[in-house]
Each structure stands twice: as structure tokens, then as C-alpha cells.
Structure 1
Amino acid sequence: MSSPPWNYIAKLVCIGDSGCGKSSLTIRLCEGRFSPQHDVTIGVEFGSRIVPVGPPHSKKISNPFSSSYESKDPSSTISNIPGDSKNAAAAADEEQKHMKLSLWDTAGQEIYKSVTRSYFRGASGALLVFDITRRATFVHATDWLNDLRTIAEPDIVVILVGNKLDCVQSEDSDDNNSKREVTFAEAQDWAQKNGVLQYVETSAKSGENVEAAFMRVAERIFENINAGKYDLNDRRSGVKGPGPGTAASRGVKLTANDGKGSSLTGCCY
């Protein structure tokens, strides 16, 4: 039997209020598309994508959010030092690792909360999504984070995502920020105070920063793997290595810019 096209599987959950675009972000990543027509997510929906993690791929890209807040982890094992020819040569000879992101898109409606909370268990990463044009969804982010940290594992990687950036970038508006209700600085400050890895603004509609947000979480999880923070034989850790006869052996390897594939259905923009 051939080896699976991934080295690790990581469970990620998308959480936040209903209508923030969690499903649209997941569909954009997995299928590379956006649909203005959508159904409200009921319970949870699922998608997946295999992405490269670590060098040599990580040596070729720079952090697109380098100007924003990012919490630092001294245990990080990936470096990118300009002019370090020895590191570059070593990365070139290193076999590229791949991670299968198992994406769980959860319902944001209060009526489904008791159900969706159960899916927080065994997650190694989370995208906490709010709508930058609806302040209430940002206010509720605190409750979502508290629920997540109560149920999920202590080392879960969380990134704060302000979605619907396209709504405040309209060239047809006299004031591009007329619809914005949460400033970048405010959300960035919240992320820093609450120990969240990073804050990023995305547009599921245009695709801006969507892939980079998911990849940032994947890279940090990979760093944590190298730091020995997960028991790869314990499903509760949210990360596992390949095993014989797993479903991953039927997957399709994708690079960060290749075509997408997903079993996800529905959309909630």
C-alpha cells in the first residue's frame, strides 16, 4: 500500500457568531470559490486540504502579517534568516512535509452551541471569526474564546480573523470605512491581551489573506510538533501522524497554490 500524501493530520475548527463567513472562508480555502448564495450551517460541516508545512516551503515565503501583532513562541523551530546560505542549503535538501487540515466549520447560532462545543475537543487549531462590519460579533469573540479554552487542549493554536474586508474596501463608497465597526488596532489589541497567536483581516469573497490565515495556523502547529508538544498517538492532542490503511491514503496532495478539493457543502458568508 502506498504511503499517504501527508505527514500529519491536524484538526482545525472555525468558530464565531452566525453570518461571519466561517463557511465561506473554509470553502474558499478548500475549493477556491465564493458563492453569494448560502445556507445557514446546521451543526457542523467538514472540509479538508493538504498543505506544505515547514522548510523548504516556509523558507520561500514571508509572513504577510509581519506588520501586525504576533505572539512569539520561544520554542518555534522554523527560522528564516536573510543571507544565511547554510540554512538555505539545508532547507533545499530537506524533504517537504505536508499536513492535512481537517476543517470543522461549526454553526454560530446559539441554538446549536451545545452541539458545536463538543467539536472543540481534539482540535489543535482554531480560527475565531468575527465580522468587521458587525461589532456585536467582535464582542462575542470573548465568549467563544472562553468556551474554546474550557473544552479544547491547552496548546490549541488560535488566530483571530476579522472577515468581510471587501465590505470596507468598496471603491464605490465615498468613505471606504463607513461600514467598519471594529478597527484593526482594536482587534489587534484584543488578540494580544487574550494570548491569541495573531490577528488578520480577510475577505472570503475576494480570497484576500484567507489562505495565509490557515497556513499561519498550520505552520505554528508544525512548530509545536517539532517542539514535542503533541502526543501523535493520542487523538485528543488534535494532531496525528500517518497510519496504514487510513483514509488519507486516498487523498490528493496539494501545494499552497494548487487546486482545491473538499467535501464541504453549504456556505455562510
Structure 2
Amino acid sequence: MAGVAWHYVLKFIITGDAAVGKSSLLVRLTDQRFLANPDPTLGVEFGSKLITIPEENKVVKLQCWDTAGTESFRSITRSYYRGAAGCLLVYDVTSRQSFINVRSWLQDVREHADPHLTCILVGNKIDLCADDAGAAAAAGGGPRRKREVSTDEGELWAKEEGLLFVEASAKSGENVEEAFECATRNILEKVRRGVFDDDRSPGVKLSKPSSGVALNEDIRGSCC
């Protein structure tokens, strides 16, 4: 891979209700830190991360758009669905309502995004659950909450809808990179099968940047 900074650029969107931890997942991915009290996302925030998929011998640049979870910004965030190759559909495992609402978010994604988009359902905040004592301890303690969505329930619904699935903690970092890597592997598999045309699909781009681009590049910004 000498002289190659990255092989593909993949566009991801992160969607779901407000306060499920979308911004915290993005910050954990790009900055390896936790936002204890993040400000509500107004419109869209952007982050970039380079990841390596060893078995593919590929370096992939993820361009991630964190969309606002409030209804007032829904028309704005829908425009970011277009051209996305991957989507993190996020709910809070301690909030059944956020899990119920992912059905509406998934409908939005399917109406406005590429039909071949790879979607992974992410149950966030497992560190808060009383029955996840190990995860909570690893995350440094903090208030416990009752789990309202079981792992089995989330996994079953994801299977029924043809989604990938993982539970994660933006606080501890558990399974955050794994969620993006899992979706990335699925997208690359689709590229190999010709589902995504890497020359014409907006969410998947072959990239041949100069060798001077650093491999640990992380970027965050905001829009609106």
C-alpha cells in the first residue's frame, strides 16, 4: 500500500432520535473520547476517520454525517441520506421509545437513500444498564438505568429488516469502531459483487490522493 493514503471513500449517515448518543458515537470514532454532555446537534455534524480492513488489504476513509434527531431538522437531514453507502441507525437500549422510533427513521432512510445502502442497527448506552455491570465498571461507573430493549429483541428486529446489528457504548468505546468496520466490510463486499459501482455511486468513491495525506486523519465539523 506504499504511496496510497486510502483506497475508498465511503459516505456514512448516523440517524435516530435525539439524545440516543449519535454525536457521542461520532466523537468516540474520530477523537477516541467521550462527550459527557454534548450540545444538541443542529442540522448536521461531520466527522472523518481512516480505518484499515486487514483482510481486504484496504484503507478506507469514512465520511460520517451525524444528523439531528428532532423533527424540526428532519427535512434538512433527509437531504444527507442521498448518496450514502452506509447508515448507523441508533437507539438507546434504556429507552423503548427510541427503539420504537427507529422504524420511522428506517422508513426515511429507505425512502431517501440509495436502495443498496448498508444499514447497521446500533443499540447504544449499554454501559448504563444494570445487567451490564462489567461494561458499566469498564466505563467508570455512573448512574445505572433499566434496560428496556433486550439484545435478543434488537437482534431479531434487525434480522427481520435485513440490517446488521451490534450493541455499543460511546462512553466506554465498546463496539463503536466495530460497528463502522462491520458496515464497511459489507459495503466492500457489495462493491466486489458490483452492487455499488465505485465509479458512479455517490457514497462509494475510489480515491487516489497524494502520498502526503496522513493515515491518521480525523476531522470534525458542523453544518447548519
Counterpart in the other structure of 2:148: 181
Runs of 4+ with deviation above 4 angstroms: 170-173
Unaligned runs of 5+ in 2: 138-142
Q: Is the 8 A contact 2:27 2:35 kept in 1?
A: no
Residue of structure 2 aligned with 1:261, choices 208, 218, 221: 218
Once the two structures are TM-superposed, the CA of residue 234 in structure 1 deviates from its matched residue by: 1.9
State the number of aligned residues: 214
Secondary structure class of the residue paired with 2:109: helix
Residue of structure 2 aligned with 1:229, choices 195, 204, 208: 195
Residue of structure 1 aligned with 2:214, choices 235, 246, 252: 252
- Answer yes or no: is 1:206 the counterpart of 2:167: no
Q: Which structure has the larger Rg?
A: 1
Superposition RMSD in Å: 2.4
The amino acid of 1:190's aligned partner reads W
Over the matched positions of the two proteins, sequence identity in percent amounts to 42
Residue of structure 2 aligned with 1:240, choices 190, 205, 210: 205
User: Aligned pair in 2 of structure 1 residues 251, 142: CA closer, same or farther (>3 Å)?
Assistant: farther
The amino acid of 1:252's aligned partner reads A
- Answer yes or no: is 1:129 the counterpart of 2:90: yes
Counterpart in the other structure of 1:27: 27
TM-score by length of 2: 0.88
Note the 1:23-172 alignment, pairs <5 A.
Answer: 23-53=23-53, 57-58=54-55, 96-168=57-129, 169-170=132-133
Find the aligned partners of 1:226 and 1:13 in 2 and give their Cα distance: 22
Counterpart in the other structure of 2:8: 8
TM-score by length of 1: 0.74
Unaligned runs of 5+ in 1: 59-77, 79-95, 255-259
Find the aligned partners of 1:212 and 1:156 in 2 and give their Cα distance: 18
Q: Is the 8 A contact 1:232 1:240 kept in 2?
A: yes
1 or 2, which has the higher strand percentage?
Answer: 2
Once the two structures are TM-superposed, the CA of residue 16 in structure 1 deviates from its matched residue by: 0.2
Deviation string for 1:22-75 (max 9, x for gaps)? 11001101110002121000100100111112xxx13xxxxxxxxxxxxxxxxx
